Amino acid sequence: MVDILKVEVLGEQLSRKSESLAGLRPSLERILADIHERLTFRARTYIRDEIENYIPINEDLNYPAKLEHSADVVSETAAWLTYFWRRAKVYGVEDDIVEEQLGFWISHSGQTPTSHDAVDGYRGLYELRKLGIEQQLREASRKEIDHPALASLSNHKDLDNTL
């Protein structure tokens, strides 16, 4: 914001229309100086309060508990991703990749999570969001609720194919 005010407004805009906006320049320079002063003050306050005066508490230093919590988060993420991809398979969402994704997340369940699994979980959640899987599943569920007879027929067709 400071750069925009300094470069674009003061530098470019006022120099083009210098006669009509000449009286505005001192006010904008005072505003810019005030912004710089406030940002500097906030940065110094943050450094003093949050960094220089930081005193770790026992929970901050309990690394085994932090690692255990991280492992739980990674396992929960893998469980949620398995759940979403199972639902996607049931509803026929993203048929081209659902088998691969579901297999990947099922293979990760029950194993001790690693740091790479945390990255995989983040990427998996990102992919769900990017593909709009949750929205597609909501719409499929809504259709099933709105038209239960059609969903029932669809399920019977699937059963007939498996027999």
**2 within 8 A of 34, measured Cβ to Cβ:** no
Q: Are residues 71 and 110 in the same domain?
A: yes
Domain count, the chain: 2
**pLDDT, tens digit, 9 for 90 and up, residues 114-123:** 889 989 999 9
State the amino acid at position 40 in one-letter form: T
Residues of the chain under the 70 pLDDT cut: 1-22, 148-163
Q: Can you give the pTM of this predicted structure?
A: 0.54
HSE-up of residue 39 (Cα within 13 Å, Cβ side): 9
Q: Are residues 72 and 42 in the same domain?
A: no
**pLDDT, tens digit, 9 for 90 and up, residues 76-89:** 999 999 999 999 99
Does residue 110 come out as left (phi exceeding 0), alpha (psi in the -120 to 50 range) or beta? left
Token pair listed for 115: 């740091």
Does residue 132 come out as left (phi exceeding 0), alpha (psi in the -120 to 50 range) or beta? left
- Evaluate whether residue 40 is within a structural domain: yes
> What residue numbers bound the domain in which 33 lies?
2-52
